Amino acid sequence: MNAGWVIFALIAWLGGWTLNEWLVRQKTGNQAVARVISLAVPLIFGISLLAIWEGVTRGFNVPTVLLPPPSAIWERIVNSVPILVADFRQTFMKAVLIGYVLGCGSGFIAAIMIDRSPFLKRGLLPLGNFVSALPIIGVAPIMVMWFGFDWPSKAAVVIIMTFFPMLVNTVEGLAAATSMQKDLMRTYAANYWQTLFKLRLPAAAPFIFNALKINSTLALIGAIVAEFFGTPIVGMGFRISTEVGRMNVDMVWAEIAVAAVAGSLFYGVVTLIERFVTFWHPSIRSG
Amino acid sequence: MTVISASDLSLTFQTADGPVHALKDVTLDIGKGEFVSFIGPSGCGKTTFLRVIADLEQPTAGSISVNGMTPEQARKTRAYGYVFQAAGLYPWRTIERNVALPLEIMGVSKSEQKQRIERVLELVNLAGFGKKFPWQLSGGMQQRASIARALAFDADLLLMDEPFGALDEIVRDYLNEELLKLWAATEKTICFVTHSIPEAVYLSTKIVVMSPRPGRVTDVIDSTLPKERPLDIRDTTEFLEIAHRVREGLRAGHGEV
Amino acid sequence: MTRIWQGNAGPVTVVVAAIILIWYVFVVVLNAPWERDQAARAGTEISFIQLVKNTMAQERPVLPAPHQVVAEMWDTTVNKSITSKRSLVYHGWITLSATLLGFVIGTGLGILLAVGIIHNKAMDKSVMPWVIASQTIPILAIAPMIIVVLNAVGLSGLLPKALISTYLSFFPIVVGMVKGLRSPEAIQMDLMHTYNASAAQTFWKLRWPSAMPFLFTSMKVAVAISLVGAIVGELPTGAVAGLGARLLAGSYYGQTIQIWAALFAAAALAATLVAIVGLGQRIVMQRMGGPA
């Protein structure tokens, strides 16, 4: 056991915790300072977590196949940039993004189409909710059978996974306009499309973005896991399953790190757009 | 000239608890330029009557004509502006864009929109607040914006459903005064639903007293007050006499207060 | 009669019937090329009726017909002994046990974490963002690694899969419970303050009951995703046991109908689990006097 590292981990843990406890008790009237504090606290927690991780793995000589220290993972990332980029391009740029756009787009259009028919709505919505609970990832082998090994079958899985949350949330959102607001449109003798574009779609925006955010995570996971069922020799899921077989755990963690960063950025971009479009919603105004 | 003419108008709702006679045999004429208040307890049909004029409800018997046409035709020719109990402004639009909403739907040109918006915001004393968002305004200001929106497309008829009900009395008094000034300046026909006796007597040229179960008209009072009305006319004997008559009408229809 | 049309049962039935109909049409359309191919090779003509009949009885169809899938499911559940390696019941149970274990641990952990976040400000500000961020680590993606690594340390079988399910299910529970435990209105909290109620009393008498609807909604999401975790966790061990293993095996050996049967079984399992949570919800809400 390497005492130095263990002590380092202990200091990181206690230090981070006390620092955070102190920070949250600070009362400040200044809005900018408050914002800095709310960003600093989780950051400090994260950094101390990384430090503890490094200290514990090195201090107790944890076998690297079990859990490599963060520094080893970083080294692996830096040394494998070409592979990581190729995998990223295959999985994220192709399967995830294309599947996401097509899946969310078709879910949205389907919602608008069934909007005009209350009968279809009552029939499809319970089904949509039901399908959302099912393990959709299971259709991956079927998609491979239909569309082949390459990224289209993965994109197909993503499309199916993102379609239903988008459909259900959009339909819910289209019902959000109050009857008073709809009456107002009626007094203007507005037609269906004017009411849709000027009232119901803006009112539905919070719900639609809720689905877009959920779908951003679903799309990434769906594409990676779909690759476990068969893929050409490139792709994040492929890399993970093969490197696991070779016990190159640090490479697996490197891919995870890339996936985690990509996923966070994707989610972050959607959230930023949400803030811009639904600036008027109480949850965004007070947040 | 008669703007609204109702004859034996009836509206019965079929509910799970049996039929509800929201309106029964209402016969009423409203002339051009009149300010008519509808007053009565809940369920007397005053809002329902307003909604029938607006083609938001369909009568089950009798007839009604607005500007000589059916309510549906009147609605399609944008004959009236409607002001609801709540302002109902779109939070994602500035006040200007909110007032522009009916103009956009009716296909008014951008330059004309700008002119009209400026004019009506001026009328309701909200000039300079055009670029603000609804949540940045107080309740009274939001309701004024809602009135501006109803005035924007120059309909001759204004239908107002308890527009000041959610506001406190001080703001209410102020808005009552503003509304009368507006009415004098624009010479519109106004149908105004309210719960408040002083408000009804202060604002109107004609007061229609209604009572529930079934919803019907119990009294129509032609106001003798002059057109020019400062707020302290509410302390005069004439005012109190009319208010008294309204109160009697309400009691008679309701059985007891 | 009007009652049926007023509820959702009517439209749902019609839509489901329409879907089955469209499915059958596609069975013919997608399987026909192979049939025509076979006929061309044998040098014979094939009539349309025969074509339709054949497309519904292929051994390795592009799209199996619903009755084929149901027949396969019947065959592997009722007609096989429960301990047989080909029994869907056997595989279903393997997946189910991992799901349930993971779900129970995940729910327990999630509730504890939520309680901690509510009552400790430091935990709230530091842990909450990372709980959310933890979901960006695609745990399903590293499921293979977790399984293999834990196997190397000696933990194999049920527990590693259950751990994956735990990780997946604890997030919706934490988010839902935090929201639920914070849901009482300010006036309710003020009332408790006037009674000089302790934090524990406020928790058990106000916060916990208020959080019930949120808990059940989150549990529905959590149980469904636990199932997905268990299925994915079965993939790396070389497709030995469980519904995920059946899916993978079917994929390797081109056994289309087996894949669909396993998928349907997984779907049925998910639906049943969510329904059970829903039943629990109704019972609890009725005992609390509220709408279900």
- Per-residue model confidence as pLDDT tens digits over B118-174: 999 998 889 999 999 999 999 899 999 999 999 998 889 999 999 998 888 888 898
Is residue C269 within 8 Å of C95, Cβ to Cβ?
yes
The percent helix, strand, coil of chain B (3-state, each to 5) is 40, 25, 35
For chains A and B, count residue pairs whose Cβ atoms are closer than 8 Å. 50
Return the partners of chain A (3 or more C-beta pairs < 8 Å): B, C
Among the ranges A7-16, A165-174, B226-235, which has the highest mean pLDDT value? A165-174
Of A20-24, B95-99, B123-127, B244-248, the one with minimum mean pLDDT is A20-24
What is this structure's pTM?
Answer: 0.80
pLDDT higher than 70, residue A262: yes
pLDDT higher than 90, residue C138: no
Question: Per residue in A221-253, pLDDT tens?
Answer: 889 888 888 777 888 888 888 888 787 888 888
B71 to each of A180, B31, B208, C82, C251, how far by Cα in Å? 19, 16, 20, 71, 65
Rounded mean pLDDT, C262-267: 89
Of B184-198, C134-148, C219-233, the one with minimum mean pLDDT is C134-148
pLDDT at C292: 44
pLDDT higher than 60, residue C239: no
Rounded mean pLDDT, A144-157: 88
Higher per-residue confidence, C58 vs A192 = A192
Task: Give percent of chain B with pLDDT exceeding 70.
Answer: 98
* Residue C122's pLDDT band (cuts 50, 70, 90): confident
pLDDT at C232: 85
Q: The tokens of C222 are what? A: 């959590």
Rounded mean pLDDT, B171-195: 91
Give the phi and the psi of residue B54 in degrees, each rounded to 5: -80, 0
* Residue B7's pLDDT band (cuts 50, 70, 90): very high
Tell which A residues from 220 to 239 touch C, by Cβ distance under 8 Å: 220-221, 224-225, 228-230, 236-237
Return the partners of chain B (3 or more C-beta pairs < 8 Å): A
Chains C and A touch (3+ CB pairs under 8 A): yes
Among the ranges A8-12, A148-152, B188-192, C257-261, which has the highest mean pLDDT value? B188-192
pLDDT higher than 80, residue C131: no
pLDDT at B257: 42
What residues of C are in contact with residue A137 (Cβ under 8 Å)?
Answer: 140, 228, 231-232
pLDDT at C6: 58
Check if A22 contacts C (Cβ < 8 Å).
Answer: no
Give the phi and the psi of residue A43 in degrees, each rounded to 5: -60, -45
For chains A and C, count residue pairs whose Cβ atoms are closer than 8 Å. 167
What residues of A are in contact with residue C153 (Cβ under 8 Å)?
Answer: 66
Nearest to A188 among B102, B133, B135 (CB): B102
Contact A280 B135 (CB under 8 A): yes
Pairing mode, strands B206-211 and B61-66: unpaired
Check if B245 contacts A (Cβ < 8 Å).
Answer: no
pLDDT at B148: 93
Here the ipTM equals 0.80
Secondary structure of B172-221 as H, E, C letters: HHHHHHHHHHHHHHHCCEEEEEECCHHHHHHHCCEEEEEECCCCEEEEEE
Tell which residue, C228, C181, C233, has the closest CA to residue C206: C181
* Residue B101's pLDDT band (cuts 50, 70, 90): very high
The CA distance from A87 to A98, in Å, is 16
* Residue A287's pLDDT band (cuts 50, 70, 90): very low
Residues whose CB falls within 8 Å of the CB of residue B111, separated by 6 or more in sequence, listed in order: none
Rounded mean pLDDT, C254-283: 89
Contact C8 A126 (CB under 8 A): yes
Contact C247 A44 (CB under 8 A): no
The CA distance from A169 to A107, in Å, is 9
pLDDT at C14: 87
Tell which B residues from 8 to 67 touch A, by Cβ distance under 8 Å: 54-56
The CA distance from C127 to A48, in Å, is 12
